[in-house]
Amino acid sequence: MNYANKLVPGALYIVSTPIGNLEDITYRAVRILKEADLIACEDTRHTRKLLDHYGIQTRAISYHEHNESARAADLLERLRDGQSIALVSDAGTPLISDPGYRVVAQAAAEGVPVIPIPGPSAAIAALSASGLPTDSFRFCGFLPAKSSQRRRLLESVAADSATLIFYEAPHRIVESLAEMREVLGPRPAVVARELTKLHEEILRGTLDDLASSVTGRGEFTIVVGKGEPAPESDEPIVEAVKRLERAGVPRMEAMKTIARERGVSKRDVYRAMEDDR
Ligand code: SAM
């Protein structure tokens, strides 16, 4: 089927919308939003501003994390009846740290056509302007709210040889950057703030610089460069930790340092120490 220019009946369209600047929407997205039978959005009042801006009168209903399961069933029934539905989120690409997974997974499983209408996403916008390697990257989404879980996640990606991308809420940016600095070391990083908006800022430096300088309001995407490759060493991990201990470094600190130097997780170092007992 040629999906290019005709609205497909009974299809679920995943429509990307602006992350700030209302001009960042494709002609095709506007057309699909106009022609669809229904728009499913996170917050109807929020999306209405975009729809009004482009003179789109299509009916909008809510689809968000609190009604996702009931609403997915309702949307699937409409799709089976041949209605075409456009799914949008408050900003950027739906499903990317946004609702939509449930309905897309079910639609795909049932053979309902799922058609992406590509457009903005803060992660890709930040990465593309970061100046950090783009050949391989890992999107980590939002860090967990709890500090212990946040550290665990950071440790699990510390040895990854890809550029890392995180979303962060403004009230946690300072804390998260400090923890990133601690767990990931002083790597090159970029904080992209308020992309496409009036006060857009792209701050570059090391995690050290950024952890001590970034504060504030707005929306933030953090891009972290890969760590330096661990120096080749024949010295077993346990011996390396013991060497630091003999030099007066406390055990926990020694384990952290060796994990960072070797590009392995703290858990791996801990396990090696346990196995050695
Ligand atoms: N689906 C969206 C996308 O494709 O980018 C992301 C939605 S997620 C709920 C919102 C997070 O994305 C924000 O907390 C922030 O980390 C990031 N973000 C969204 N808009 C941004 C912007 N204009 N500048 C920087 N980061 C942004």
For the segment 153-201, what is each residue's pLDDT rounded down to a tens digit? 999 999 899 999 999 999 999 999 999 999 999 899 999 999 999 999 9
Query: Which are the contacts of 51, defined by CB distance < 8 A and separation ≥ 6?
Result: 33, 39, 57, 58, 60
pTM for this prediction: 0.84
Residue that has been written with the tokens 């602006």 in this structure: 18
Ligand 1 pocket test, pick from 220, 222, 223, 224 with the greatest ligand atom count within 8 Å of Cβ, gives: 220
Give the residue whose CA is nearest to atom 8 of ligand 1: 97
Beta bridge partners, 116, equal: 14
CB 7, CB 85: distance < 8 Å: no
Best CA proximity match to 38, nearest among 3, 64, 63: 63
For residues 160 and 7, give the distance between their C-alpha atoms in angstroms, rounded to a whole number.
Answer: 42
In the reported structure, the alpha carbon of residue 56 is separated from the centroid of ligand 1 by a whole-number distance in angstroms of 24
Rounded CA gap, 168 and 40, in Å?
25
**pLDDT tens-digit series, residues 53-85:** 999 999 999 999 899 999 999 999 999 999 999
The pLDDT value given to residue 102: 96
CA distance 73 to 33: 21
pLDDT at 257 over 70: yes
Alpha-carbon distance of 71 to 90, in angstroms, equals: 17
Question: What atom in ligand 1 is closest to the CA of residue 89?
Answer: 1
CA nearest 213: which of 232, 189, 183, 238? 189
Q: Report whether 269 contacts 237 (CB < 8 A).
A: yes
Give the pocket of ligand 1 (CB within 6 Å).
Answer: 19-20, 89, 91-93, 96-98, 121-123, 167-169, 192, 194-197, 219-221
Q: Which residues are paired to 223 by β-bridges?
A: 165, 190
Q: Please, what sign has the CA dihedral across residues 85, 141, 127, 191?
A: positive
Half-sphere exposure of 231 (CA within 13 A, CB side): 6
174: amino acid identity, one letter: V
Distance CA 215, CA 198 (A): 18
Rounded Cα distance, 217 and 231, in Å? 39
Ligand 1 centroid vs 90 CA: distance in angstroms? 9
More confident residue, 174 or 265: 174
pLDDT of 215 reads 86
Whether residue 230 is predicted with pLDDT greater than 70 in this model: the reply is: no
Distance 110 CA to ligand 1 centre (A): 30
> Rounded to an integer, what distance in angstroms lies between the CA atom of residue 104 and that of residue 85?
11
Strand duo 201-206 + 188-193: pairing: antiparallel
Closest C-alpha to 126, from 209, 173, 178, 191: 191
CA of 238 to the centre of ligand 1 (A): 42
Q: Which of 15, 16, 19 to mutate to test the pocket of ligand 1 (most atoms within 8 A of CB)?
A: 19
Taking the centre of ligand 1 as the mean of its atom positions, its distance from the CA of residue 146, in whole angstroms, is 20
Quickly count: other Cβ atoms within 10 Å of residue 36's Cβ: 24
Three-class SS state of 223? strand
